[in-house]
Amino acid sequence: MGLRIASHVCKAFPNTLGYDREPTRAAAATAAGVPVAKSAEELADRQFDVVLVSVNTPRALTEVLTAPNSFLRQQRGETVVLDIGTTGATRSRELADSLKDFGHRFIDAPISGGIHGAARGDLTAIVGSTGEDTVVDRVLHSFCARVHYMGGVGLGAVAKLANNAVAIGTLGLLGEALAYAEKGGLDRAKALEVMTSSSGDSRILRSKRRLIEQREFGDAQFEIRIALKDIRLLLDEMPGDAPTELPLLTAVSELVDSAARECEKPADISVIADPKSHQPVGRIS
């Protein structure tokens, strides 16, 4: 997904320079025509106005941005760091404070739309800022068709996790509905045909219909372990003294965890919409 985004950015900003800690991915980017730094030290020799970062976990993001050898420590002027992964509000705000000490700005800008959306330049960015920076807006629009500004730092992450919770929870419920339908003798394709043309329709259902209907869960557009990370981030960030508990999302988290354990290879989150993935996940109080 990162390579597809980088390709769009390079077309809009020819002086773009990429970097990947994984040599095979760096080689793939070079082969695709994306200029790639050979080392982190080469990054330190350049001055960047905007840096896009896409990594899978909050820990990896923290390491890339704040480690003693981070190239950001060598930047002489202000650099705006756009985190387009899904990190969570707490870590986003911590990183914003840390980078401010180096003279930089951090903006959480998680994206939605998957691998195919990235290839088309048809992603949605959900941004933790007010949208006053025209350069940031231009960079995001180079690979996003829609850019939504939520306000302060961390609010982009809050909105993205809330959105993902709805999508993942919908797929979990869909799996139980299909289990009922198939148990009653209804063909899966027929059930999905009705749902996508009736009140059961949703964007996540339409985008995942083919995978669910044909059981092509190996097409990991939204990998199940990444989805599990997102659900756990949301649950972890819910304050302990919050007036509202989240029993449904807790059950969904257990369902996703159980399904992920059964997947020997990368699998799309839509696998939880397969009735065969559903195991008892405990009583919802």
- Overall average pLDDT of the 174-200 stretch: 96
Q: How many domains does the chain have?
A: 2
Q: Which two tokens stand for residue 211?
A: 């995978």
Q: What is the domain range of residue 11?
A: 2-152
* Torsion (CA) 97, 111, 56, 264 in degrees, nearest 10: 160
Domain contains 285: no
Residue 140 reports pLDDT greater than 80: yes
pLDDT score recorded for residue 168: 97
The answer, as to whether pTM is greater than 0.85, is: yes
CA atoms of 146 and 122, how far apart (whole Å): 8
Same domain for 142 and 125: yes
Domain contains 111: yes
Same domain for 10 and 93: yes
- Overall average pLDDT of the 32-41 stretch: 91
pLDDT score recorded for residue 270: 96
CA atoms of 27 and 31, how far apart (whole Å): 6
Same domain for 130 and 50: yes
Residue 280 reports pLDDT greater than 60: no
Query: Could you report the per-residue pLDDT of 226-251, keeping only the tens digit for each?
Result: 999 999 999 999 876 666 788 999 99
Same domain for 121 and 7: yes
Give, in degrees to the nearest 5, the angle at Cα 171 between 269 and 210.
70
Domain contains 35: yes
Domain contains 241: yes
CA atoms of 132 and 86, how far apart (whole Å): 22
Cα–Cα distances in Å, from 93 out to 51, 122, 161?
Answer: 17, 27, 15
Same domain for 163 and 95: no
Same domain for 218 and 91: no
Query: In this structure, what CATH number is given to the domain that contains residue 61?
Result: 3.40.50.720
Query: Could you report the per-residue pLDDT of 89-115, keeping only the tens digit for each?
Result: 999 999 999 999 989 999 999 999 988
Residue 86 per-residue DSSP state: -
Query: In this structure, what CATH number is given to the domain that contains residue 178?
Result: 1.10.1040.10
Domain contains 7: yes
pLDDT score recorded for residue 283: 42
Same domain for 9 and 126: yes
Same domain for 103 and 16: yes
Task: Give the HSE-up count for residue 10: Cα atoms under 13 Å, Cβ half-sphere.
Answer: 16
pLDDT score recorded for residue 39: 86
- Overall average pLDDT of the 21-27 stretch: 93
E strand or H helix at 237:
helix 224-237
Same domain for 163 and 119: no
* Torsion (CA) 141, 130, 161, 20 in degrees, nearest 10: 50
In this structure, are residues 231 and 249 in contact, taking their beta carbons and an 8 Å threshold? yes
Same domain for 115 and 47: yes
Same domain for 174 and 50: no
Task: Give the HSE-up count for residue 70: Cα atoms under 13 Å, Cβ half-sphere.
Answer: 19
CA neighbor of 59 nearest in space, from 29, 82, 90, 104: 90
Query: β-strand 111-112 against 123-127: which pairing, if any?
Result: antiparallel
Domain contains 136: yes
pLDDT score recorded for residue 277: 74
Task: List the beta strands (DSSP E) in the chain.
Answer: 50-53, 80-83, 105-108, 111-112, 123-127, 144-149
Domain contains 284: no
Reported residue count of the chain is: 285
Same domain for 77 and 9: yes
